Amino acid sequence: MRTTYLLPCECGENIRVTSVQAGETVQCSSCGAELTAPPFREMQNLELADPKKRRRREKGWDRRKICMMVGLYLTAGALIVLAIVWARRPQSMDFSALSPLESWQAWMELRQGLQRRVSWFTYYMVESRKQLRLTTYVCVGTALFGIALSLSAFILRKKRARI
């Protein structure tokens, strides 16, 4: 069994080091400062850590982790909504499947020109395409915002206290 010692940091935190880590560089978990563990002979002068009392890891979420998860959830949610909207988008009319009478009616509607009164189906198709375009822009924008939020939280590190 290895002996564990407490190496004091400038911030007041005690870092647990073992005799195997003598002379190595260790990092403080609270302020991020890098400390060099003393050689083995001097390590015996440090305070002994209680072997029964293990330091628990922090279970809380910091801002960085929260930002990363919010960004990932935003991206995933936006992409799922976008996939559902595109899967359920209205299909345009297949003119090759029209009967001769339906083809004649479609031709007569087209001959009336741009000033004609549009049918409910044409109005529905135009409005649904506008809605699809708007939803696509919003979902892509939300996904890009989520990616930017996650990447910025991933790239930015905790600032260390320098003394």
pLDDT by 10-residue block (mean), the chain, 163 residues: 79 83 83 83 79 61 86 95 89 77 79 70 82 93 94 74 45
Residue pair 90/128 in contact (Cβ under 8 Å)? The answer is yes
User: Does a structural domain hold residue 14?
Assistant: yes
Amino acid letter, 54: R
Q: Look at residue 23 in the predicted model and tell me its pLDDT.
A: 84
Question: φ, ψ for residue 116 (rounded to 5)?
Answer: -75, 165
163 beta partners: none
Verify that 86 and 11 share a domain, yes or no.
no
Q: Name the pTM for this structure.
A: 0.49
User: Helix 120-155 crosses helix 63-87 at what angle (to 10 degrees)?
Assistant: 160
Residues contacting residue 45 through CB under 8 Å, at least 6 positions apart: 38
Verify that 103 and 31 share a domain, yes or no.
no
User: Does a structural domain hold residue 163?
Assistant: no
Helix (H, G, I), strand (E, B) or coil at 13: coil
The total of structural domains in the chain comes to 2
Torsion angle (degrees, nearest 10) of CA 110, 114, 116, 122 = 70
Give the C-alpha separation, 65 to 67, whole Å. Answer: 5
Verify that 106 and 138 share a domain, yes or no.
yes
Verify that 84 and 143 share a domain, yes or no.
yes
Verify that 112 and 36 share a domain, yes or no.
no
Amino acid letter, 151: L
Q: Look at residue 56 in the predicted model and tell me its pLDDT.
A: 57
Q: Look at residue 163 in the predicted model and tell me its pLDDT.
A: 43
Verify that 103 and 34 share a domain, yes or no.
no
Residue pair 155/71 in contact (Cβ under 8 Å)? The answer is no
Verify that 89 and 139 share a domain, yes or no.
yes
Helix (H, G, I), strand (E, B) or coil at 80: helix
- What is the extent of the structural domain holding 9? 4-48
